[in-house]
Amino acid sequence: MTDTPKRNPTRRDVMKTTGKVAVASALASLAVPHVHAGENNTIQIALVGCGGRGTGAAEDALSSKSGPTKLVAMADVFPNRLKDSHETLKRAKNKQVEVPDNRKFIDFDAYKQAMDCLRPGDVVILTTPPAFRWVHFTYAIQKGLNVFMEKPITVDGPSTRRMLKLGEEAKKRNLKVGVGLMCRHCPARGELFKKIKDGMIGDLTLLRAYRQHNPVAFFASQPKPNGISELLYQIQRFHSFLWASGGCFSDFYIHNIDECCWMKDAWPVEARAAGGRHYRENSIDQNFDVYSVEYTFGDGTKLLLEGRCMNGCDQQFASLAHGTKGSAVISSNSHWPSSCRLLKNQHASTSKKYTKDIIWKCGPENANPYRVEWDHLLEAIRQDKPYNEVERGAQASLVTAMGRMAAHTGQVVSYDQALNSDQEFAPELDKLKMDSPAPLLAGSDGKYPVPQPGRKKHEY
């Protein structure tokens, strides 16, 4: 951060002290649509990273009932991703999508151009692969923008330390920042948390998280084809490469780990883990097929995580908790609906067999957490309420990475070791250009380094 910290004027400050015409003229030098009288409550949005989640997050933002919103700029590194996203959003939210060609930007500095289209107090959505999060967040803070950024927000120790500092900077400037751990905004899980805190199942003694399914997304990759640069190939298939995403571990398992830590109301202090590759044939990605992690909290309680991407095996996608007086289903099948409940014994299951054991169950789950997180962020912006999820998002990202580090090195890894680790997978991402070399290079066999537990100090 080069410029001096200052508290950013809130949207209400601007409206109070300037008035509509003055606001419009103060912004005249920016490439934004004219701020019309009567429309000055509109929050403008820029989308950086126009893929699946970015398009979804933009639609969620534009669907919020908290007040008018409008998408005004988009940035990506692949023209086709931006084009598809724009078309999808136009179909879904035609009137709120005002992104002419001169506000569509393609390149590694496209994020700057898209954010330059906004006014202080508007919102930028950061939904590229997570490696770029700190780069884009740094610029958003400089521009006085509120932010929604997707999880994970860091992939290693150095980027976590940097993100924690940036989060503090955003707080000082009164910027509102949402992090896409949407389960934290799920009303049913919120009720569950209160009931666990009230002692309905006693003290928590064990938590279990499972994400075991067939290979999905870019979990695995084949050797790079011709016609695409090494850099863009790795970015396109970011779940395959640790520098870009923290691999499938960080990308896939963070929600289940985070919701378990929420219920425990603590972060684990260390992790021990195992994992390995089995049926990889010609795959060149860096992921293990299976991960088995034992996280330990400060009071000795364990959180067990089982992750697997493999065909033909039992599938489970759930988070469960056990207490001295009963058990809890935190989530039962993906993220929403959660079907969360408390049981009087240790069955922690949604099976009908245990219906008679339920002591509390959430009601109908009509509120989609992906929408609710936007209502919360936009309300905080409009009402100028403190709102900054960066610390929690960075901690969840780090705790996730801690389990991955333990599996990849074969060592017990403490929270402090993970945080203070000196392995930064991809430093200087802020300097990337289209013709830059990729942060990870393949060997002469076309394969990338794969973690070797017990043999290497670092993950690769």
Ligand X SMILES: NC(=O)c1ccc[n+]([C@@H]2O[C@H](COP(=O)([O-])OP(=O)(O)OC[C@H]3O[C@@H](n4cnc5c(N)ncnc54)[C@H](O)[C@@H]3O)[C@@H](O)[C@H]2O)c1
439 binds ligand X (CB under 6 A): no
- 89-92 long-range contacts (CB < 8 A, ≥24 apart) are 89/55, 89/58, 89/59, 89/62, 92/59, 92/62
Binding flag, residue 78, ligand X (CB under 6 A): yes
Residue with Cβ nearer ligand X (50 or 407): 50
**459 near ligand X, rule: CB under 6 A:** no
Which pair of tokens denotes residue 406? 């333990």
Tell me: does residue 186 bind ligand X (CB under 6 A): no
Give one word for 450, left, alpha or beta, with left for phi > 0 and alpha for psi -120 to 50.
beta
Among the residue ranges 87-95, 105-113, 160-168, 206-214, the one whose residues contact ligand X (CB under 6 A): 105-113
54: contact with ligand X by CB under 6 A: yes
All residues at 6 or more sequence positions from 125 whose CB lies less than 8 Å from its CB, including other chains: 45, 46, 47, 48, 49, 54, 57, 58, 61, 147, 148, 149
Tokens 């999808």 — which residue? 88
Listed residue (20, 30, 80, 19) closest to 50, CA to CA: 80
CB of residue 128 to ligand X, shortest distance in Å: 4
Q: Give which of 377, 343, 376 is closest to 360, Cα–Cα.
A: 343
Q: Which of 27, 43, 47, 108 binds ligand X (CB under 6 A)?
A: 108
- Asked if 76 touches ligand X (CB under 6 A), the answer is yes
**49: contact with ligand X by CB under 6 A:** yes
CA terminus-to-terminus distance, the chain: 30
Rule CB under 6 A: choose which of 81, 208, 341, 392 binds ligand X: 81
- Count the neighbouring beta carbons within 10 Å of the beta carbon of residue 249: 30
Q: What is the 3-state secondary structure (H, E, C) of 22-57?
A: HHHHHCCCCCCCCCCCCCCCCEEEEEECCCHHHHHH
Strand order, beta sheet including 104-106: 104-106, 69-76, 43-48, 123-126, 146-149, 177-179
Q: Which CB sits closer to ligand X, 48 or 204?
A: 48
Shortest approach of ligand X to residue 253 CB, angstroms?
Answer: 11
Residue 157 touches ligand X, criterion: CB under 6 A: no
Structure tokens at 183: 């389960």
C-alpha to C-alpha distance for 299 and 280, rounded to whole angstroms = 39
CB of 135 to ligand X, least distance (A): 8
215 cis-preceded (ω within 30 degrees of 0): no
Q: Mark 116-145 with x for binding to ligand X (rule: CB under 6 A) and - for no binding.
A: -----------xxxx-x-------------
Give the bridge partners for 76, in sequence order. Answer: 106
> Which of 45, 48, 141, 164 touches ligand X by CB under 6 A?
48
Between residues 13 and 109, which has the closer beta carbon with respect to ligand X? 109
- Comparison of 14 and 396: residue with beta carbon closer to ligand X: 396
Q: Output 204 or 377, the one with its CB closest to ligand X.
A: 377
Question: Is 182 one of the binding residues for ligand X (CB under 6 A)?
Answer: yes
Stretch that binds ligand X, among 72-80, 96-104, 413-421, 446-454 (CB under 6 A): 72-80
- Count interface residues toward ligand X (CB under 6 A): 26
Six token digits for residue 113: 């151009």
The reply on whether position 110 binds ligand X by CB under 6 A is: yes
Interface positions, 217-236, toward ligand X (CB under 6 A): 235
Yes or no: say if 123 and 147 are a contact pair by the CB < 8 Å rule. yes
Task: Note whether 213 binds ligand X by CB under 6 A.
Answer: no
Minimum Å gap between C-beta 411 and ligand X is 26
Integer Cα distance of 188 and 68 in angstroms: 27
**Could you tell me the smallest distance in angstroms from the CB atom of residue 14 to ligand X?**
28
Q: Which is nearer to ligand X, 53 or 458 (CB)?
A: 53
Residues that bind ligand X (CB under 6 A): 48-54, 75-78, 81, 108, 110-111, 127-130, 132, 150-151, 180, 182, 235, 251
